[in-house]
Amino acid sequence: MRRTLPMLVALLACLASAYAQAADRVPLRILAINDLHGNLEPPPGGIRIDDPANRGRKIRVDAGGVERMATLVKQLREGHRNTIFVAAGDLIGASPFLSAMFMTSRRSSRYR
């Protein structure tokens, strides 16, 4: 019996490996975020970045906020059937007041 179990495990591993190699590959698009920190709204006035035309200069661009992010995620998913969206963490911690109030009101209504 002691010899049978390792041989059975080895046989199953070989079969699983052969099956995995024979399976068709599926293209997968992974969209990921982290460190959102509950910033539901974009920062006032956008953000400052290096000007692509002149590295010594800064320019302001509209960026941030969950509405803009949702639109971008929707655009990136279009035409790609196998797309997943994951959030890696720090979604709520260090939240601005608006986000903290939103989360508090949702929690309190959920547990009534």
pLDDT digits (tens, 9 = 90+) for 7-37: 667 777 777 776 666 567 788 999 999 888 8
Residue 44 lies in a domain: yes
Residue 66 CB-density burial (10 A; 0-12 exposed, 13-18 middle, 19+ buried): middle
Residue 84 lies in a domain: yes
Residue 79 lies in a domain: yes
Range of the domain at 49: 25-110
pLDDT digits (tens, 9 = 90+) for 22-77: 567 788 999 999 888 888 888 888 889 999 999 899 999 988 888 889 999 999 99
- Dihedral, CA of residue 101, residue 103, residue 109 and residue 112, to nearest 10: -110
Residue 4 lies in a domain: no
Q: How many domains does the chain have?
A: 1
Residue 88 lies in a domain: yes
